[in-house]
Structure 1
Amino acid sequence: MDQAPTPYALGFLLGPRVNAGGRIGQADLGARLLATDNPTEATALAERLDVLNTERRDIEARVREEALAQAEMRGLDGPLVWA
């Protein structure tokens, strides 16, 4: 990076990618990325986390679609349960 990251970049671009490993079951990747001073390792970790972030988004989209389909099948007459 040529300059300090903006709050937007940290919160919406970098943050979700660093966190993606933990959501997919590889929590150490984000910590390793933040701790390394090896550019080659950092690049490899960042690329892996980017892939995991894409997988996370795909999983969330599928779960959301399944939940909406279930809600449509049940209709508005049944109870609403938040878990």
Structure 2
Amino acid sequence: MKASPIRIALIATTLAFATVGTANATGCLKGAVVGGVAGHYAGHHAVVGAVGGCVVGRHLAKQRAQERAEQQAQQQTAQRQQTQPH
């Protein structure tokens, strides 16, 4: 019996959540959807695209979070310098 692409995508998503966890799922779902659609149209490789999209989406989300944290640290430093007496 040939596995349907939907069944394979559901299994891959379940495995991704089981290994990644909900705390690290940021960016994974959006990336998996985009990658799955792109993989489907690029030769019926939706599962490979979904897994790759999840990895890339997670990486980009981590980068954005790190940039936000750096910006907040810079803003806090600037505020402290403005409030300190010279």
TM-score (norm 2): 0.53
Could you report, residue by residue, the CA deviation over 1:29-62 in whole angstroms, capped at 9, with x for unpaired residues? 5651475761100001000001101101110111
Identity %: 7
Partner of residue 72 from structure 1, selected from 56, 61, 80: 80
- 8 Å Cα contact 2:31/2:53 also seen in 1: yes
Q: Which consecutive segments of 4 or more residues in structure 1 shift more than 2 A?
A: 28-31, 33-37
Q: Which residue of 1 aligns with 2:49?
A: 41
Q: Which residue of 1 aligns with 2:34?
A: 32
TM-score (norm 1): 0.54
Partner of residue 17 from structure 1, selected from 16, 27, 30: 27
More helix by share: 2
Higher-Rg structure is 2
Q: Which residue of 2 aligns with 1:57?
A: 65
Question: In structure 1, how many angstroms separate the alpha carbons of the residues matched to 2:28 and 2:48?
Answer: 17
Question: In structure 2, how many angstroms separate the alpha carbons of the residues matched to 1:47 and 1:39?
Answer: 12
Q: Which runs of 5+ in 2 are unaligned?
A: 1-13, 16-21, 41-45
Report the RMSD for the aligned CA atoms in angstroms.
3.4
